Amino acid sequence: MTAFTEKAVLSPNSPNRKEKEKPSTMNKKCDVPVLNTTTIFNCIIILLFGVTAFPSSTTIRESNQVVVSVSTILPNVNVAKARQAWLNYTWRGGGIPAVVLPIDKENDNGLFSRKLLPVFADETVVYDSMREGNPSMNSAEENESAQVQYKLTSLGLWQSEIERDTHLGIVSFSPMVSGTNMTWDVEFKTKQRRNVWQKITELLILEASQNLASYVAPPLRLTTRTQLQTSLTSSEVLDKWLKFIWVQGGGLPLPINPISLDANCYQRIIIPPFLVETILSIKSFSRDYKNSRFIDEELVDDDDSLEENEIYYTVDNPGFLTYQVHSHLGRVRYRQNEELGSVEMVWDVTVRPMKRFEKIIQAFTEAIVTTLAHNFKACVELDEKASVVGIYPPRGRDFGIFKGTEPLMSVRKDCWLGRVLDAHLTDKRGSWEQTVSLFQPWTWGIPEGRQNDVTMEWTKQN
């Protein structure tokens, strides 16, 4: 860079021109690419946002100030809960394409710091109105306005992009008639690429705000009901559910059964997708168990009455790669009906889907829970001798060493594959109807006239 500068200031007639130009043409180090922080930053921008972060053709700009303001309405959430949700979810990394590590739990003022990877920048909350003597979250004035301010305290790989001590983020929460208005303002000065940083900051703040809105949105609940024709008591059916569904996997087409993570089999991991689930409480005549973890009251409806036989469970590691929800709570309860000689199983799953995943989560959850309910009904009702379906050689003819009258293998009817095979063998519909059903996988394994064995309904909680 020194040689380039000297060359630029020399006149054409300078006697030292050739001597000054020589270092710039003969210096081999200038021909070797240097991996500096700017190069690394450019690669990160391209990978994360698909934006080529190279200098524009305009080298002089009127302003290097980036100013972004995004307003988001959070319905049915008061100011105190909105602020706490921002600290618990957004500040800890929810809704942004980065890994967030806490630097310390709290500093001397009770405020938090975090590190952003892969840029290794540090941010610190420098002001929180509710920690400065203002109303606490549990006070009667919980709908007073609130504000949180944070700054970049260490630029990391952004040193070549952002001017030091110019960054300030302000998140304001204002009460509305039925919710909270959150306004997120960010401003800082750039050393280069001002337009690129303007667009990236707008994208990040908007995405994080929308993800926070989905995080505090009213949860969705799937309710399935199944009548189990059995002489077992509701407590015995609960024990059977724990063994068949929780421990053995419920007959889902998984490569392996769920793996227990504790001695009592109250925590398990399902592979794939490496989903960890934990039983929070069990209440029945045969056992009474309660996990030390609390049940999220916002996922429990006020109308939910205490049942004599019920199970609460939750997903421990929801996320993009496992189960795309912010929160999850499952509840299975059993009600004895002595007049009908049956036990009703009511299976509730309450979730808050991530942004853009609502339809996918509804379809996936519905498919899994209804399949498990059908499998469990077959497990409870079928006689042990008639609980398998045989797979025979084609057309029942002898096939090598295999006899046509003897099954090659047997599959239990209380698993998904067994129910599909059993429904096919007993299917008396025409060829056209059977062909159409091949393109309707949600109908597989359900015999004609048994579609209403499991009923389901989605509702939005208050």
CA separation (Å) from 163 to 1, 64, 153, 159, 241?
22, 10, 11, 7, 60
- pLDDT at site 424: 72
Cα 178 from Cα 76, distance rounded (Å): 5
What is the residue-averaged pLDDT of the chain? Answer: 80
Angle formed at CA 131 by CA 164 and CA 165, multiple of 5 degrees: 5
Which of 185-199, 405-419, 444-458 is predicted least confidently? Answer: 405-419
Percent of the chain with pLDDT over 90: 51
pLDDT digits (tens, 9 = 90+) for 328-372: 999 999 998 888 889 999 999 999 999 999 999 999 999 999 999
Which of 18-22, 179-183, 358-362 is predicted least confidently? Answer: 18-22
Q: How confident is the model at residue 15 (pLDDT cuts 50, 70, 90)?
A: very low
**Higher-scoring residue by pLDDT: 416, 23:** 416
- pLDDT at site 43: 57
**Higher-scoring residue by pLDDT: 179, 32:** 179
Give residue limits of the domains in the chain.
2-49, 65-215, 220-381
H helices of 60-215, where?
79-85, 194-215
Residue 409: pLDDT over 70: yes
Write out the two tokens for 130: 């509710």
Taking the domain 220-381, which CATH number applies?
3.30.530.20
- pLDDT at site 190: 95
**Higher-scoring residue by pLDDT: 433, 276:** 276
Answer whether 65-215 and 220-381 agree in fold.
yes
Q: How confident is the model at residue 105 (pLDDT cuts 50, 70, 90)?
A: low
Residue 173: pLDDT over 50: yes
Which of 14-18, 116-120, 442-446 is predicted least confidently? Answer: 14-18
**Higher-scoring residue by pLDDT: 128, 306:** 128
Which of 33-47, 77-91, 248-262 is predicted least confidently? Answer: 33-47
Residue 52: pLDDT over 50: no
Instruction: Report the run of H or E that residue 49 belongs to, with start and end.
Output: helix 37-49
- pLDDT at site 103: 79
Q: How confident is the model at residue 131 (pLDDT cuts 50, 70, 90)?
A: confident
Does domain 65-215 fall under CATH 3.30.530.20? My reply is yes
